């Protein structure tokens, strides 16, 4: 019989999972994710960004320097973003834009960006 979502009494909460009333058999389905702000100022950083995503990091990319570069061709930037999109598509992740200078990338389908 599954545990109810409510605790019978308000004493003895030992962890966030206990507070939520989640049973230990559900714990393996939860993964730990970390959020990291990352300064994205060169296309050569794409492999490092992919590595962070493989390690279950949610990235908030500050791309202001990259977007503002005069020497960078728009086609190069588009190809780099498409490469990240393809990588994320394979892992079930997602990408979104926050304002004019930030991108947010999630590593897999466990964490999604809502439009």
CATH 3.40.50.2300 fits 32-106, yes or no: no
What pLDDT is recorded for position 100? 87
Ramachandran sector of residue 96 (left: φ over 0; alpha: ψ -120 to 50; beta: rest): beta
At 1, is the pLDDT very low, low, confident or very high (cuts 50, 70, 90)?
very low
List of long-range contacts for 13-16, beta carbons under 8 Å, 24+ apart: none
pTM of the model: 0.70
pLDDT tens, residue by residue, 93-111: 999 999 989 999 999 888 8
Q: Where is average pLDDT lowest: 26-30, 38-42, 57-61, 72-76?
A: 26-30
Strand order in the sheet with 94-98: 34-39, 57-62, 102-106, 94-98
Helix (H, G, I), strand (E, B) or coil at 6: coil
The ranges assigned to domains in the chain are 1-30, 32-106
């Amino acid at each position: 019989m599954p545990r109810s979502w409510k605790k019978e009494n308000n004493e003895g909460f030992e962890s966030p999972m206990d507070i939520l009333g989640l049973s230990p058999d559900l714990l393996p389905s939860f993964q730990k994710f970390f959020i990291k702000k990352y300064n994205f100022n060169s296309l050569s950083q794409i492999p490092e960004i992919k590595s962070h995503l493989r390690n279950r990091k949610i990235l908030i990319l500050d791309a202001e320097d990259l977007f503002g570069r005069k020497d960078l061709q728009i086609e190069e930037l588009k190809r780099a973003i498409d490469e990240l999109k393809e990588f994320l598509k394979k892992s079930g992740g997602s990408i979104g834009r926050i304002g004019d200078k930030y991108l947010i990338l999630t590593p897999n389908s466990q964490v999604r960006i809502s439009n």
